[in-house]
Structure 1
Amino acid sequence: MARRALPTAAAFAVGTALLLTACGGGGDDSSDKIEGAGGGSDSPSASAPASADADRPDVSVPKDLELVFDFSAPSDPKQAKAVDNAANYIRALKHGIVKQDVNDPAYQYYSGAQAAQYAKTQIKEWVDGGWVPTGKDRYFKSEATELSGGKAVLVTFCRNQAKSFSKDIKGGKVHYGKESLDSYQKFSVLMSPPNGADKVWKAQKIEVQGRVKECRG
């Protein structure tokens, strides 16, 4: 994924109110399962996507692509749902890449605003390159912070893509690489709660920082 500057939680908070006004805010999602202030535990959340609602889109990926989410499950239900659906947003993005569909309904279900556009842009880069991901893609060190009086949750987490590679759709050649600082990223995802037609917590904004030493330790 593209590497972009990662703002602080305070910087995210500045634009949260305006963003929530545009996309909706408030409410909760009692049917939804489940990076850091706000509490958490050492128990990792499930690596498989939540399936509480029958109308949720498919976010499965081929067996040669392993998505690992070693996330801590916050004790606060609101934060837990935000963390879980931040993971689902990543799963949905990967699903769109595998399907080579820039308009894949999966990422649209789990995102809105800038986060949806980010997913579409990422998928298009893979489509244009003629690649799909393969290997093991690991996400860890999750934390959750409530913003705007609880109307949004900032979820941050690290990524280790050292064992994740691109594979040519035509011919199946895998482009291997060696582990380095470039393998480590930090994600910051602004999640908004269910509101109106939205049934789940959705990613509204995402920023990604590359070459993050704290994620390598």
Structure 2
Amino acid sequence: MARRTPTIAAALAVSAALLLTACGGSSDDASKDKIKGADEGTKSPSASASSSTANGRPDVSVPSDLHLNFTFDKPADAAKAAAVDDAENYIRALKHGIVKQNPNDPAYQFYSGPVAARYAKSQIQAWMKGGWTPTGTDRYFDAQADSIGKSKSVLVTFCRNQTKSYSKSVKTGKINYVGESPDSYQKYSLLMAPSKAGSNVWKTQQIEVQGRVKECQG
């Protein structure tokens, strides 16, 4: 698969589009991302006590029947590498919240700015409303990280192949198998920023999900 090589100008354009939609949530033509009321409110939910790992970060583990497969080549630049790492952690935290069926799960709040937190919450609520939890293999790959102008923000983009990722009924355990389709391939754009000066934690500020992306078919 040919590697994407966006210019900084393109990265800035995407960033500007994300910032302009800060009050409107995110888009995904493929599945549960268009949620009524997802753009309501202006603040992320208040974090509460949660189990954490030895480094003080929240637990983002998922059950053994759900495989989150991230095959990212980490950038040589330390800041960009940290941004990519925590973009991955944001996705893991979102899945953790869905599995826990907790729309106020502290894990995703730890890795989110206000807009990204609303997106995560809306996703968890959608899965809960349907009575589903994820299972199977969810593959994320071909990550890129681009600095945004003179700011400390980094735009992280990557592909998703959810061909072998399915929904499972929380109540019955029955798996809803869906075959491969153009909706199986998505592209994620996450605008990342360090949480505070000197911190090694990067938070997702904005997120955009594009569905039916041919360049991600790989």
- What TM-score results when the alignment is normalised by the length of structure 2? 0.77
Matched, 1:174 2:160: no
Match of 2:16 among 14, 17, 22: 14
Which residue is equivalent to 1:216?
217
Which residue is equivalent to 2:159?
158
Q: Give how far 1:116 is off.
A: 0.8
Post-superposition Cα deviations, 1:11-42, rounded to whole Å, max 9, x if no partner, equal 344378999xxxxxxxxxxxxxxxxxxxxxxx
2:18–2:206 CA contact under 8 A, matched in 1: no
> Cα–Cα, structure 1 residues 189 and 17, in superposed 2: closer, same or farther, change >3 Å?
closer
Post-superposition Cα deviations, 1:39-85, rounded to whole Å, max 9, x if no partner, equal xxxxxxxxxxxx98532111000000000000011000000000000
Structure 1 residue ranges, 4+ long, deviating more than 6 angstroms after superposition: 15-19
One-letter amino acid matched to 1:82: A
**9-18 or 122-131, larger mean C-alpha shift:** 9-18
Distance of 1:96 and 1:208 partners within structure 2: 18
Q: Which runs of 5+ in 2 are unaligned?
A: 1-9, 22-51
Distance of 2:131 and 2:198 partners within structure 1: 35
Matched, 1:134 2:135: yes
Q: Give how far 1:151 is off.
A: 1.2
> Cα–Cα, structure 1 residues 154 and 177, in superposed 2: closer, same or farther, change >3 Å?
same
Q: Secondary structure at the match of 2:145?
A: strand
CA-based RMSD = 2.3
Distance of 2:148 and 2:53 partners within structure 1: 26
One-letter amino acid matched to 1:192: A
Which residue is equivalent to 2:83?
82
One-letter amino acid matched to 1:169: V
One-letter amino acid matched to 1:182: D
> Cα–Cα, structure 1 residues 98 and 197, in superposed 2: closer, same or farther, change >3 Å?
farther
Which residue is equivalent to 2:94?
93
One-letter amino acid matched to 2:98: I
Residue identity over aligned pairs, in percent, reads 60
One-letter amino acid matched to 2:184: S
Post-superposition Cα deviations, 1:75-112, rounded to whole Å, max 9, x if no partner, equal 00000000000000000000000000000000000111
Matched, 1:206 2:207: yes
1:17–1:148 CA contact under 8 A, matched in 2: no
Q: Give how far 1:149 is off.
A: 1.1
Distance of 1:134 and 1:161 partners within structure 2: 11
Post-superposition Cα deviations, 1:169-203, rounded to whole Å, max 9, x if no partner, equal 11111000111211000000000013169651000
Distance of 1:13 and 1:87 partners within structure 2: 18
Post-superposition Cα deviations, 1:147-180, rounded to whole Å, max 9, x if no partner, equal 0314100000000000000000111110001112
Q: Which runs of 5+ in 1 are unaligned?
A: 1-7, 20-50
**145-154 or 75-84, larger mean C-alpha shift:** 145-154
Which residue is equivalent to 1:35?
none
Which residue is equivalent to 1:188?
189
Distance of 2:19 and 2:169 partners within structure 1: 42
Distance of 1:202 and 1:130 partners within structure 2: 29
Q: Secondary structure at the match of 1:149?
A: coil
In the comparison of the two structures, how many residue pairs are matched? 179
Distance of 2:15 and 2:170 partners within structure 1: 41
2:82–2:200 CA contact under 8 A, matched in 1: no
Q: Secondary structure at the match of 1:62?
A: coil
One-letter amino acid matched to 2:114: A
